[in-house]
Amino acid sequence: MIEYTNLAVNHDGTIRGLKKKHVQMIAIGGTIGTGLFLGAGNSIAKTGPSILIVYAVLGAFFFMMMRGIGEMLYADPSQHTFVSFISKYVGAGAGYFAGWSYWIGLVFVAMAELTAVSTYVKFWFPNWQTWIIQIAFLFILTMINLIAVKLFGETEYWFAMIKIIAIVAMIVTGLFLIATGFKAPASGGHTVASFGNVFSNFTLFPNGASMFFAAFPMVFFAFQGMEFVGITTAETQNPREVLPKAINTIIFRILIFYLGAMIIIMSIINWHVIAKTPDESPFVMVFQLAGFKAAALVINFVVLTSAASALNSAIYSAGRHFYQLAEESDSKLMGNFREISSNGVPAKAIILTAVLVLLSPVINSIPQITSAFGFITSISSNMYIIVYAMTMYAHRKFRESTDFMPNGFVMPGYKWTSPLTLVFFAAIYISLFFQADSRMSAIGAIVFTIIFGYLSHRKFSSKVSTSTSTAS
């Protein structure tokens, strides 16, 4: 039973039920995704040891983005989503576009994660019906979100803990193999486990410059979701104390979990060997080399919890974003979603999100739609880059406003880091056009931005002109 005693209640009825431990673990959960456990082999195959540079650079820019978001949320911790700052500092039309774009993206993320969950469950139970698995998981996680924000926080805490234990276990196992001089099988002989293997005969572009730069958008999308921690602010106890600590430790988590794991993997197994089987999980490979025969089963459980965690966070985030959209709308229909339940959650917004995500089993059952779904999902992922860039632009406008708190949680080196982060996001997006598998979705996102952006601008410019004429 969830206790609400001594928990602060916001003016809109939401409850500050998230503790420091919840927010920190949500930050970790948003930072570490399924891609690390399953996609590390593919990342290493593209660029070899240079992948460490890619992760470090992207980690630094994501950290700067989070500091910008954190600065605005520190000044106004009542906001349910960082996207609301776009409406506040850029304009209602821009906020409308960003809010709906981000929410649609979250729904597609939830659909994709629900599909992944069923895939991992069928690893153990291949005869189970996919649609039954998906409905069961969606129902459970939706109920968790509906009961109380504290229960959501507890669930994410343990989901993140499983991921941390798996990474730490792999690192400890790897350190033991390195310390004992373990010889891993390799083509043409054996590789003695050593940190020296990582940078032995190091070249920046082992597979060419194009593959190196192609790794940037891939890793970018692996970091996607880090901003979820910024959505918890309005429901966090002591947000001005908790939020800065959670954000400031992000960079260290990236260094330890991402870079640490990659270094250990390449220290034990020659990266050329990993490149021959890029779809195989390096985590499984390391554990199996150590004699842990059930490694594949354990890692499948870890990625299942990772996907379930991402789905849980997507439901939470999408519910809050739709609630925010309803709050900013004057539509009678949207007014129905402004209600907060007695449990302190935007129940109707969460239920609507869950109903839309429920379309995933239908989509997956129709082959013709499935291919289109993959394309649309890619478009929505690309939209995140645009929303991130708009958020950073809103941060620049915030700096020029009277809301700016010079003694608050300020973005370090703002004069340099802010424009560099915006330029970097632009560079990531441009890089999508140079890859055949991402070019069409990048164009699709641009077309969506132009059309929906124009309609959003027109919608609110007409409102301004109407109100002006009424006033005169």
Q: For residue 415, what are its two tokens?
A: 């004069």
Looking at residue 191, the DSSP 8-state letter turns out to be E
pLDDT in tens, 398-438: 999 999 999 999 999 999 999 999 999 999 999 888 888 88
d(CA 141, CA 154): 12
Is the predicted pLDDT of residue 354 greater than 50, yes or no? yes
Q: For residue 202, what are its two tokens?
A: 């190091």
Q: For residue 123, what are its two tokens?
A: 């690893």
**Res 254: pLDDT:** 74
Is the predicted pLDDT of residue 2 greater than 60, yes or no? no
- Cβ(328)–Cβ(463) under 8 Å? no
Mean pLDDT of 224-239: 84
**Res 191: pLDDT:** 76
**Res 6: pLDDT:** 54
Mean pLDDT of 228-233: 82
Is the predicted pLDDT of residue 4 greater than 60, yes or no? no
Q: For residue 410, what are its two tokens?
A: 């300020």
pLDDT in tens, 70-97: 999 999 998 888 889 999 999 999 999 9
pLDDT in tens, 363-394: 777 776 666 667 777 888 889 999 999 999 99
Rounded to whole angstroms, what are the CA distances from 380 to 103, 108, 112, 187, 446? 10, 7, 11, 41, 11
- Cβ(307)–Cβ(34) under 8 Å? yes
Cross-strand bridge partners of residue 192: 183
The backbone region for 135, taken as left when phi is positive above 0, alpha when psi lies in -120 to 50, beta otherwise, is alpha
Mean pLDDT of 158-173: 90
pLDDT in tens, 91-118: 999 999 999 999 998 898 888 888 889 8
**Res 421: pLDDT:** 96
Looking at residue 280, the DSSP 8-state letter turns out to be S
Mean pLDDT of 177-181: 90
Query: Confidence band (pLDDT; 50, 70, 90) for 468?
Result: very low
pLDDT in tens, 310-323: 889 889 989 999 99
Structural domains in the chain? Answer: 20-461 (1.20.1740.10)
Q: What is the pTM of this model?
A: 0.88
- Cβ(244)–Cβ(24) under 8 Å? no
d(CA 39, CA 155): 25
Is the predicted pLDDT of residue 328 greater than 60, yes or no? yes
What is the residue whose two structure tokens read 């609400």? 4
d(CA 119, CA 130): 8
Three-class SS state of 66:
helix
Query: Confidence band (pLDDT; 50, 70, 90) for 186?
Result: low
Mean pLDDT of 340-364: 88
Looking at residue 231, the DSSP 8-state letter turns out to be G
